[in-house]
Chains A and B, each alone.
Chain A
Amino acid sequence: MAKAVDIGTSFIVGARLEDGNEVFTVERDAFFSMPREDLSEELITRAGANFLIRGNEIFVVGEDALKYCMITGRHEAYRRPMKMGVLNPGEEEAIPLIERLIEGIVGPADFPGEVIAATIPAAPLDTELDVTFHKIVLERFLKKLGYDVRILNEALAIIYAECPTVDDDGAQAPFSGIGISFGAGMTNLVVAWRAKKLFEISVARGGDWIDQRVSQVRNIPVGKVTHEKEKGLDLSKVDPKNPLHLGLEIFYEELIKHVLTEFATHFKSTQTTFSNPLDVVIAGGTASVPGFIDKFKEILEQQGAPVPIGNVTLGQDPLRTVAKGALVAAVSMEKKKLAKQAEAEREAAAQAAAAAKPAPKPAPKPDLDEIDIEAGV
Chain B
Amino acid sequence: MWMVKNTLRATLTFRGLDLSIPAGATYDLDALGRERAESSNQVLVAFEEGYLENVHKAARVESDRLPTQAPTASDGLTGAEFEARMKEFQRQFVSELKTHIPALAVSSNESAMTKDVKALVDEFKLLREHFELERNKLARAGDLSDAEVRARMAFLEEKENELVKNFERVGRRVETKDGDVMGKADMLSNL
Contacts and interface: CB of A to CB of B under 8 A. Distances in A.
Given A21-B177, A47-B49, A163 B12 contact: no
A235 B145 CA distance: 52
B189 interface: yes
Q: Which 10 A-B pairs have the closest CB atoms?
A: A63-B171, A223-B118, A226-B116, A227-B119, A331-B185, A48-B9, A332-B188, A332-B185, A223-B119, A223-B116
A226 B181 contact: no
| Chain A interface extent, by class | 35 or more
B111 A288 contact: yes
A71 B188 CA distance: 47
Contacts of B13: 46
Contact of A22 (B51, B172, B175): B175
Contacts of B10: 45-48
Contact of A317 (B118, B176, B184, B186): B176
B191 A194 contact: yes
Contacts of B182: 17, 20, 331
Contacts of A327: 181
Nearest to A289: B111
B55 interface: no
Interface stretch (A26-34, A237-245, A251-259, A295-303): A26-34
A67 interface: yes
Nearest to B121: A70
B121 A75 contact: yes
Which among A23, A25, A27, A230 has the greatest number of chain B C-beta atoms within 10 A? A230
Contacts of B49: 47, 71
A291 interface: no
A349 to B, nearest CB: 24
Contacts of B66: none
B118 A24 contact: no
B120 interface: yes
Contact of A73 (B114, B119, B125, B175): B125
B187 A163 contact: yes
Nearest to A320: B174
A23 B171 contact: no
Which among A46, A319, A327 has the greatest number of chain B C-beta atoms within 10 A? A46
A147 interface: no
B16 interface: no
A24 B110 CA distance: 14
A288 B177 CA distance: 21
Interface in A159-197: 160-161, 163, 174-175, 194-195
Interface string A284-320: 0100100000000000000000000000000011011
A98 interface: no
Interface of B: 8-13, 23, 49, 51, 102-103, 111, 113-122, 124-125, 168, 170-177, 179, 181-182, 184-189, 191
A175 B191 contact: yes
A356 to B, nearest CB: 35
B189 A70 contact: no
12 contacts: A20-B182, A28-B171, A46-B12, A46-B13, A48-B8, A48-B10, A211-B116, A226-B116, A288-B111, A331-B181, A335-B186, A336-B189
A175 B176 contact: no
A328 interface: yes
A172 to B, nearest CB: 11
Nearest to B48: A71
Interface in A68-118: 69-71, 73, 75, 78
Interface of A: 10-11, 17-18, 20-28, 30, 45-48, 62-64, 66-67, 69-71, 73, 75, 78, 160-161, 163, 174-175, 194-195, 211, 221-224, 226-227, 230-231, 285, 288, 316-317, 319-320, 324, 327-329, 331-332, 335-336, 377
B113 A26 contact: yes
Contact of A285 (B114, B117, B177, B181): B114
A224 B181 contact: no
Nearest to B172: A26
A226 B122 CA distance: 13
A332 B189 contact: yes
Contacts of B23: 48
A66 B116 contact: no
A68 to B, nearest CB: 10
Contact of A328 (B117, B118, B121, B184): B184
B188 A230 contact: no
A67 B187 contact: no
A45 B51 CA distance: 12
Given A45-B10, A46-B10, A328-B181, A224 B174 contact: no
B8 A231 contact: no
A345 B122 CA distance: 61
B130 to A, nearest CB: 15
Given A23-B174, A26-B113, A222 B118 contact: yes
B173 to A, nearest CB: 5
Nearest to A45: B10
Contacts of A48: 8-10, 23
Given A46-B10, A317-B176, A22 B115 contact: no
